[in-house]
């Protein structure tokens, strides 16, 4: 049965996990993530969801527990935010190395000190080099849909990597929007029960083996190379997953990227998360006023959509990258990736970084419009 | 002829195979041998960074004939919780999930994780082989190092504190089973693990595990050092259960005579065997005696509650 409801981003994330029929959940509370795991534990306790909920004593243990659960053959889920993500950082890297296809919702929040509970994307971007696939949601429907898609991609035999679905603190997490909650059977059809690979940790199902014991450099390098290959494979798998999702559910949030008004654009905005949805609205308005502006939402940050961005960048004369994050001593983090991509593909379109909305400061349409008008001459 | 426990041990087979990369005289591999004989093949060892992550042998080989899942230092009891829940979800409730870690990974950096899993009463074993320092990284002091022992971070045997009374701390979590073991008393250890195996919930076992290179004694003397620890009263063998809100604690047979301080050998007997205590001072002997009294008094207070 399809439900139509007006729910928060956190409830959408919980619904994403519920519809994905996750089997083990381990989590620790942190604002603004908390209501995701509250919702899930409520469903588990009421028996509306068949899953094990482990109320662990830290985020480090939350990630550890879902790594163990995934290794033992369960579809596993956690959610966290900001400091929680950083506290589990060691195990975040471990999950990718262990090739456990877990999914984690991260509600983006700025880092302290000083304390700040509002949106900033730097937390998840700090996990850039760990081997996690990263989805960035722009609205609550996309949160729900991306979690289902994330499992589809993560568990693919050619991928087997963990995936993050990011949603911005308060802007999505605590803001209610109309969301379609898909028919359970249709989701089952799209995402069948997790079929763990042969190396599942269970003496009833496999011969004794040692997982993750010491390896000499020449063998270790092969293992790490396999992660890079899995990331390369993930790009195609993500596109296929998004397409198949559209066919079954009729929803399209983009695949690696989502383009708006890129045809004939002279100036291109590249951004992520909720800012992308806002930029789309601004671009639409500016187009009506005759300005040749387009927008690219980076929906998947890892694997980074290099080819896709280079192709569009080559057809415009200027690019603005809006970053709600910063790499101190360098640049906006997305801007840095875009610049490197352009260099890689010999595209010399100038890129201007605009860092906005740090620590949850509102990014209003007029801010985006002003940035465009400053550059578009 | 009736079957003896020795027959049983032989029939149990071997899970610690030749080919470990352990040091000669390693107490931990000896302990693991008896633990796995008691647990059997349907066992998953979850191993945090410790000597066992090295002595299990190097990829692509393993000298331990059960499934091993290697994990990060502080994470083992949480990973084991996740494995347990997933196996239960899939209907494999009879598989033993066992954390096998050193004192660093259990008493120090992994303490919160062990405590959390104990508080949740996860149906797992956490077994600490206590070699009383960070041996794998080169003998640095841990929260389980006895006062006065020389390590590479207490090179002159500085007295820092007491040894953390880990088995007692676990007992106070109200978990169903806590025991101490000692590699010099393999039958005691084997029987404890076997008893624990039938108990549902969190089982904690803390094993005294002498380390020849770390403690600087001849590698043929591991059992002698283990015995002296018991005979001097330094290490007490006991097991405790939490039955209907009551702590039921039992002194194990090898330690029973030493409830009487007059029966204990002087602590110096234990110290003089080991280079880590070389040149021990009166002050360190005093602290160690205090430590011994502290443990016995704690134990007696539990024995007295019956």
Q: Residue A203: which of B41, B53, B119 has the nearest Cβ?
A: B41
Nearest CA distance, A203 vs chain B (angstrom):
5
Question: Using an 8 Å Cβ cutoff, are A297 and A280 in contact?
Answer: yes
Environment class of residue B6 by beta-carbon count within 10 Å: exposed (0-12), middle (13-18) or buried (19+)? Answer: exposed
Chain A residues with beta carbon closer than 8 angstroms to that of B101:
none
Residues in Cβ contact with A162 at an 8 Å cutoff, skipping those fewer than 6 apart: A95, A96, A100, A101, A102, A103, A104, A131, A132, A133, A154
Kindly list the domain boundaries of chain A, sorted by start residue. 3-249, 257-375
Chain A residues with beta carbon closer than 8 angstroms to that of B84:
68
- Tell me the C-alpha distance between A196 and A204, whole Å: 14
Q: What is the pLDDT of residues B112-156, one digit of tens each?
A: 999 999 999 999 999 999 999 999 999 999 999 999 999 999 999
Which 8-state DSSP code applies to residue B2? P
Question: Using an 8 Å Cβ cutoff, are B67 and A204 in contact?
Answer: no
- Tell me the C-alpha distance between A107 and A119, whole Å: 8
Q: Which residue do the tokens 């100038």 mark?
A: A350
What mean pLDDT value characterizes chain A? 97
Q: Which residue of B has its CA nearest to A211?
A: B69
Q: Given this model, what pLDDT does residue B305 score?
A: 47
Question: Using an 8 Å Cβ cutoff, are A119 and A168 in contact?
Answer: yes
Nearest CA distance, B226 vs chain A (angstrom):
29
Residue A179, pLDDT > 80, answer yes
CATH superfamily membership of B5-303:
Thiamin diphosphate (ThDP)-binding fold, Pyr/PP domains (3.40.50.970)
Nearest CA distance, B23 vs chain A (angstrom):
17
Instruction: Answer yes or no: do B71 and A212 touch at CB < 8 A.
Output: yes
Question: Using an 8 Å Cβ cutoff, are A109 and A82 in contact?
Answer: yes
Q: How confident is the model at residue B306 (pLDDT cuts 50, 70, 90)?
A: very low
Strand arrangement of the beta sheet that strand B238-243 belongs to: A210-211, B67-70, B43-47, B96-102, B125-130, B203-208, B177-182, B238-243, B246-251
For residue B294, what are its two tokens?
Answer: 């502290």
Chain A residues with beta carbon closer than 8 angstroms to that of B112:
57-58, 61
Instruction: Answer yes or no: do A72 and B72 touch at CB < 8 A.
Output: no
Residues in Cβ contact with A220 at an 8 Å cutoff, skipping those fewer than 6 apart: none
Q: Which residue of B has its CA nearest to A56?
A: B116
Q: What is the pLDDT of residues B168-197, one digit of tens each?
A: 999 999 999 999 999 999 999 999 999 999
Nearest CA distance, B261 vs chain A (angstrom):
41
Q: Given this model, what pLDDT does residue B175 score?
A: 97
DSSP result, A71-89: HTT--EEEEE-HHHHHHTH
- Tell me the C-alpha distance between B214 and A313, whole Å: 61
For residue B236, what are its two tokens?
Answer: 């007490």
Q: What is the pTM of this model?
A: 0.97
E strand spans, A169-284: 177-181, 210-211, 257-260, 267-271
Q: How confident is the model at residue B82 (pLDDT cuts 50, 70, 90)?
A: very high
Q: Given this model, what pLDDT does residue B245 score?
A: 86
Q: Residue B276 is inside which H or E element, if any?
A: none
- Tell me the C-alpha distance between A163 and B286, whole Å: 56
Q: What is the pLDDT of residues B158-168, one digit of tens each?
A: 998 889 999 99
Return the CATH number of the domain spanning residue range A257-375: 3.40.50.920
Question: Using an 8 Å Cβ cutoff, are A71 and A211 in contact?
Answer: yes
Q: Given this model, what pLDDT does residue A199 score?
A: 75
Kindly list the domain boundaries of chain B, sorted by start residue. 5-303
Q: Given this model, what pLDDT does residue B2 score?
A: 86
Q: Residue A54: which of B57, B62, B85 has the nearest Cβ?
A: B85
Q: Which residue do the tokens 């260099």 mark?
A: A343
Decide which of 2.60.40.10, 3.40.50.970, 3.50.50.60, 2.60.40.3880 is the CATH code for A3-249.
3.40.50.970
- Tell me the C-alpha distance between B214 and B145, whole Å: 11
User: How many A×B Cβ pairs under 8 Å?
Assistant: 170
For residue A110, what are its two tokens?
Answer: 């700025």
Residue A113 CA: distances (Å) to CA of A29, A34, A88, A117, A329: 19, 20, 18, 11, 18
Q: Which residue do the tokens 């009891």 mark?
A: B77
Q: Which residue of A has its CA nearest to B45?
A: A210
Residues in Cβ contact with B20 at an 8 Å cutoff, skipping those fewer than 6 apart: B26, B29, B55, B56, B57, B63, B64
């Amino acid at each position: 049965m399809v439900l139509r409801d007006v729910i928060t981003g956190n409830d959408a994330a919980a619904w994403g996990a519920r519809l994905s029929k996750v089997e083990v959940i381990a989590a620790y509370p942190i604002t603004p993530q908390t209501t995701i795991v509250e919702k899930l534990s409520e469903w588990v306790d009421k028996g509306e969801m068949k899953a094990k909920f482990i109320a662990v004593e830290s985020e480090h243990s939350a990630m550890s527990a879902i790594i163990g659960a995934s290794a033992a053959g369960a579809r596993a889920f956690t959610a966290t935010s900001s400091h929680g993500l950083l506290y589990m950082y060691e195990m975040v890297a471990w999950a990718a190395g262990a090739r456990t296809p877990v999914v984690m919702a991260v509600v983006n929040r700025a880092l302290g000190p000083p304390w700040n509970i509002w949106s900033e994307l730097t937390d998840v971007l700090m996990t850039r080099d760990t081997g996690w696939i990263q989805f960035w949601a722009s609205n609550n429907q996309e949160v729900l849909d991306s979690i289902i898609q994330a499992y589809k991609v993560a568990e693919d035999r050619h991928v087997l990597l963990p995936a993050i679905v990011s949603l911005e603190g308060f802007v999505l997490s605590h803001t209610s929007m109309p969301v379609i909650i898909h028919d359970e059977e249709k989701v089952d059809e799209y995402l069948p029960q997790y079929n763990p690979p042969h190396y599942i940790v269970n003496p009833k199902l496999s011969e004794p083996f040692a997982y993750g014991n010491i390896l000499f450099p020449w063998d270790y390098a092969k293992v790490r190379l396999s992660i890079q290959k899995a990331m390369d494979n993930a790009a195609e798998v993500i596109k296929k997953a998004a397409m198949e999702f559209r066919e079954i559910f009729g929803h399209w949030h983009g695949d690696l990227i989502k383009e708006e008004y890129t045809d004939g654009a002279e100036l291109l905005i590249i951004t992520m998360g909720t800012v992308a949805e806002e930029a789309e609205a601004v671009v639409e308005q500016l187009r009506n006023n005759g300005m040749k502006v387009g927008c690219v939402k980076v929906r998947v940050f890892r694997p980074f959509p290099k080819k896709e961005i280079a192709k569009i960048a080559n057809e415009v004369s200027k690019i603005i990258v809006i970053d709600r994050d910063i790499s101190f001593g360098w640049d906006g983090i997305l801007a840095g990736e875009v610049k490197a991509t352009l260099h890689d593909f010999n595209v010399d379109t100038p890129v201007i970084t605009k860092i906005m909305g740090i620590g949850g400061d509102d990014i209003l349409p007029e801010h985006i419009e002003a940035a465009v008008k400053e550059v578009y001459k | 002829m009736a079957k003896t426990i020795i027959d049983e041990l032989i029939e149990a087979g071997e899970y610690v195979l030749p080919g470990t990369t352990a040091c000669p005289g390693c107490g931990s591999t000896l302990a693991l041998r008896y633990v796995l004989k008691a647990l059997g093949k349907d066992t998953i060892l979850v191993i945090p960074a410790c000597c066992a992550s090295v002595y299990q042998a190097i990829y692509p080989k393993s000298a331990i004939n059960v499934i091993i899942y290697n994990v990060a230092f502080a994470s083992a009891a949480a990973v084991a919780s996740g494995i347990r829940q997933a196996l239960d979800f899939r209907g494999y409730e009879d598989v033993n999930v066992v954390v096998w870690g050193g004192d660093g990974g259990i008493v120090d950096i992994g303490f919160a994780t062990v405590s959390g899993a104990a508080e949740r009463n996860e149906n797992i074993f956490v077994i600490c082989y206590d070699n009383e320092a960070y041996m794998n990284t080169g003998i640095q002091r841990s929260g389980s190092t006895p006062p006065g022992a020389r390590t590479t971070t207490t090179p002159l045997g500085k007295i820092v504190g007491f040894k953390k009374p880990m088995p007692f701390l676990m007992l106070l979590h109200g978990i169903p089973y806590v025991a101490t073991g000692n590699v010099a008393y393999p039958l005691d250890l084997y029987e404890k693990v076997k008893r624990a195996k039938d108990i549902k919930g969190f089982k904690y076992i803390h094993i005294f595990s002498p380390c020849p290179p770390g403690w600087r004694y001849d590698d043929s003397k591991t059992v002698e050092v283990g015995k002296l620890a018991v005979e001097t009263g330094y290490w007490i063998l006991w097991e405790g259960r939490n039955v209907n809100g009551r702590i039921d604690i039992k002194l194990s047979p090898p330690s029973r005579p030493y409830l009487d301080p007059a029966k204990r050998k002087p602590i110096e007997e234990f110290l003089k065997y080991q280079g880590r205590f070389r040149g021990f001072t009166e002050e360190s002997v005093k602290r160690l005696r205090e430590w011994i009294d502290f443990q016995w008094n704690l134990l007696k207070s539990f024995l007295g509650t019956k």
